[in-house]
Amino acid sequence: MQLGIFAEGTRNIVQSDTNPVHHPAINRAIKKVQEAARAVALQGYNDEAGAGDLRYVQITVERVSGKVQAVLVWHAKRLKDAQEAGLNDFLKALGNFFHSVHVNLHVPWKHSNRIFSFENEDWILVKGSPNPIEEKLTSLLTDEGAKLPAQKDDEESCDFDIQPVINCAFP
């Protein structure tokens, strides 16, 4: 099973558990996921074979607190199917490292390159806090140095409903 980030413009995985540009909490989270997957012999999803369970892992860090949340994209239509395929054992092996863990149930059409299912019922909090982590972006400027439209002239920071993420993929 490979765990890493996509090479630019491809679906090729670059193994990445000690990436110097990642926040240290991301690197620790990647190692934790790898250890837990090995401990329970979790099968990563293989597109060519059409087999396996865990398709992707998205890891997000709140830099100010160091809190880490994960989204497990599981190849299943129902939570019960994911649990029968080893989700519960994997969650136990992860321990209490993560602030929260969500499962995204996703069995895409063969020719789809979408990572997540966007249906509300496919997003399930399975462990940890129901409150998402947040990241405040400060002094965010455009390429021209102008403040963003959402930012007033006297503001030095903006709150945006976005979170920096690293997508970790299992082929």
Q: Residues 79-136: pLDDT tens digits?
A: 999 999 999 999 999 999 999 999 999 988 766 778 888 888 999 999 999 988 887 7
95 in a domain, yes or no? yes
Looking at residues 9-25, what average pLDDT do you find? 80
Contacts of 125 (CB under 8 A, 6+ apart): 100, 101, 102
**Looking at the predicted structure, is the pLDDT value of residue 4 above 80?**
no
**Looking at the predicted structure, is the pLDDT value of residue 167 above 50?**
no
152 in a domain, yes or no? no
14 in a domain, yes or no? yes
Q: Which residue's structure tokens are 């670059």?
A: 14
142 in a domain, yes or no? no
Query: 11-20, 41-50, 156-165: which has the minimum mean pLDDT?
Result: 156-165
155 in a domain, yes or no? no
Q: Considering its fold, how many domains does the chain have in total?
A: 1
Mean pLDDT estimate for the chain: 80
Q: What is the CATH number of the domain that holds 25?
A: 2.40.50.1070
Which run of H or of E encompasses 132? none
Contacts of 17 (CB under 8 A, 6+ apart): 3, 4, 27, 30, 31, 34
120 in a domain, yes or no? yes
One-letter amino acid for residue 30 of the chain: I
Looking at residues 57-65, what average pLDDT do you find? 90
Quick one: pLDDT at residue 23?
85
Provide the residue range defining the domain that includes 22: 4-134+162-169
139 in a domain, yes or no? no
141 in a domain, yes or no? no
Query: 25-34, 58-67, 97-106, 139-148: which has the minimum mean pLDDT?
Result: 139-148
